[in-house]
Amino acid sequence: MENEKVPVKDKLSKKISDLLPKIIFVILVFVFGVWVGQNAVLPFGERTALINISNKKAPSEVQVDFSPFWNVWEKITADYLDRAKLDPQKLLYGAISGMVNAVGDPYTVFLDPDENRQFALSLSGTYEGVGIELDIRDNKLVVVAPIDGSPAAKAGVRAGDAILQINGTDTSALTIQEAVNKIRGKAGTSVKLQLSRDGKVFDVTLTRAAITIKSVEFTDLGAGVAQVKITRFGDNTEKEWGEAVNKVATAGFNKVVLDLRNNPGGLLETAIVVIGDFVPKGTAAVLEEDSSGRRTSLATEKDPRLTGVKLVILINKGSASASEIVAGALRDDLHTKLVGETSFGKGTIQKPENLPDGSGLHITIAKWLTPSGFWVHKVGLEPDYEVKLTDADIAAKADPQLAKAIELLK
């Protein structure tokens, strides 16, 4: 009997049927291998950090080669000894801080979410620390002002003191925010500062405390004279200032000593409110000058409540920024006399912005000048009557600056 012939077509179908399971297996192995290569870290291979980058699109006008940044990022995340401790978010914030610090302006700063919360708390008048405002002057970290009643003030820290070390760490390379972070801390803990004053170097150890600041204090000095001390221009200052104004207006005070000593500044809008209680509505309070040199006058916006009140202003080297705006405007607009010492001299305006992740960015956007066009930056306001406050005065609890102001009001 002859063998039946199998058609070629049927032979090919049979071969394909036999090979199909093998082909499918090979494809599955290949796909699995690709997935492992992209997503898994094998114990015998090089360990790398897996990071998903979102929002990578750069502004269209920026032309910069970002490859060095990514090269460093990849080397750090691939080669660093203790890669498990690397926090991509901290690396990002560190990179942003470095970029902002490269601007070279101590007042243009980036705050991570925790630092931004602490800044907001300081404006509200409540935080934990030693109670000093800091700045950088002539490449040195200096005390702008100690807060009355704070651990720093009680220990004798003064405006103008240079801080050389914080817990043994040299401060020459620190930004203001880095120094703040080292000095602030939980109430009850301590921090050691090495200070320099008038050529003398000394150490002081401060115990941190909960700092609650009432930004406006009212004192009846007798004979129709009220002392209104503003310690800062914060979130509650406008309300507290209004309460003090009501006391002056309703209790028959016709003379006011406006005490701006050791006031490091704060909110520009609140400073204009204070100015507005002494001058006619629409009076120039401050001039803003932008990067092109264009000047804009910011005027008071309300009817004054203290017209006709005789006024003297106290300043010292701890009076900065918004307090200088108030003193400068009232001297320009009303010829108000300033008593004390030359003020700190901060003549720039920062725009604070809260970012979506809780961090913050403060950018210097303009100069500010007094209504007459004087820029106080790094020179300060010179008092009409210079009166020093000496160590002997402090020890004797004497206040010759206040005494001079009262004398001028007689």
The full set of domains in the chain, from first to last, is 127-211 (2.30.42.10), 214-409 (3.90.226.10)
DSSP 382: P
- Give dist(CA 172, CA 367) in Å, integer: 26
pLDDT in tens, 293-327: 999 999 999 999 999 999 999 999 999 999 999 99
Q: Across the chain, what does the average pLDDT equal?
A: 87
Catalytic residues: 321, 346, 350
- Give dist(CA 410, CA 399) in Å, integer: 17
Sheet (strand 216-222) strand order: 216-222, 225-230, 255-259, 310-315, 337-340, 385-386
pLDDT in tens, 215-264: 999 999 999 999 999 999 998 999 999 999 999 999 989 999 999 999 99
pLDDT in tens, 211-223: 887 899 999 999 9
Q: What's the whole-number mean pLDDT along residues 109-113?
A: 94
C-alpha to C-alpha distances, 77 to 39, 46, 90, 265, 358, nearest whole angstrom: 15, 11, 13, 42, 25
pLDDT at 375 over 80: yes
Q: Which structure tokens are listed for 382?
A: 């010179």
pLDDT at 50 over 80: no
Cα 150 to chain centroid, rounded: 20
